[in-house]
Amino acid sequence: MTTKPQPVPFGHLALPLCRVDGDPARTRDHHAFGHLDRFGRELGAAIYTWAETFRPVGPDEDPWGRRVEPGTYFTFRPQATRDGASYGPIQRDVRYATEADRDAAIRLYLDGARKRAAKAGTPKPQAEPAPDLAPELAT
């Protein structure tokens, strides 16, 4: 049995105050689940991923940031979609110490989201193949 990856703890007062160093590049991967809601929209999820490096706040800087150990963290944010567009409230960012832990957490999230979509939606009908309108032109 595999264990669920544990997110990195944030916000504890004993942790140093840190800021994200720079603006991390984010990627968006969309996953369609093949089920429709009652309005005919396809259920799916968008997964935003990025890596962010936290550095301690310097003595001459404004005292704002997050309480976390300095270092690089691998983050993801899930978002429900309907027909590929964001739907519903945005979820919280979840940070992991390794990229492998983040990927395992994403797989776990997507497995649950697929099951919820199958339970809540109806299967998407398969598209009919287009008729061959000019069979005599085929070589």
- pLDDT tens track for 69-120: 899 999 999 999 999 999 998 889 999 999 999 999 999 999 999 999 999 8
Residue 11: name the closest of 95, 90, 72, 75 by CA. 95
Q: Residue 43 has what pLDDT?
A: 95
Average pLDDT over residues 56-65: 86
**CA–CA gap between residue 29 and residue 3 (Å, rounded):** 25
Average pLDDT over residues 59-68: 85
Q: In terms of pLDDT, which residue wins out, 68 or 75?
A: 75
Q: Residue 76 has what pLDDT?
A: 94
Q: In terms of pLDDT, which residue wins out, 59 or 107?
A: 107
Average pLDDT over residues 33-43: 93
**CA–CA gap between residue 4 and residue 1 (Å, rounded):** 10
pTM equals: 0.78
Average pLDDT over residues 27-50: 94
Q: How far is CA 87 from CA 45, 70, 126, in A?
A: 9, 34, 24
Query: Greatest CA span in the chain, whole angstroms?
Result: 80
Q: Residue 127 has what pLDDT?
A: 67
Q: In terms of pLDDT, which residue wins out, 137 or 47?
A: 47
Q: Residue 137 has what pLDDT?
A: 60
**CA–CA gap between residue 58 and residue 43 (Å, rounded):** 45
